[in-house]
Amino acid sequence: MSDKLKWFKSSYSDDEGGDCVEVAFATTIHVRDSKTPTGPELQLTAPAWTAFLSEVSAAQPGA
C-alpha cells in the first residue's frame, strides 16, 4: 500500500540528508523516514495523530 500513498515531506527536512520525515494521509496516517522509503513506517489513527501533533506543539516555545 505504501507505494500508492501520496507522501509529503516535512518542511523542517532538508535535501542534504538531514532529518527527513514524510507523512501520507489515508484511512490511517502513515509516517516514515524519507531516507529509507521502503523501510518501516508508523501507521496511526486520526485521534493518535492529533494527540501527537498537540504534544509536539505544546513542547515548542511560542507554538
Identify which of 28, 18, 23, 21 has the alpha carbon closest to the alpha carbon of residue 6.
Answer: 23
CB atoms within 10 A of CB 9: 13
Q: Could you tell me the three cell numbers for 22?
A: 514524510
Alpha-carbon distance of 25 to 33, in angstroms, equals 15
Cβ partners under 8 Å of residue 9, min gap 6: 20, 21, 22, 34
- Enter the pTM of the model: 0.73
CB atoms within 10 A of CB 40: 8
pLDDT tens string, the chain, 63 residues long: the values are 455 899 988 777 766 666 788 999 999 999 998 888 888 999 999 999 999 989 988 887 665
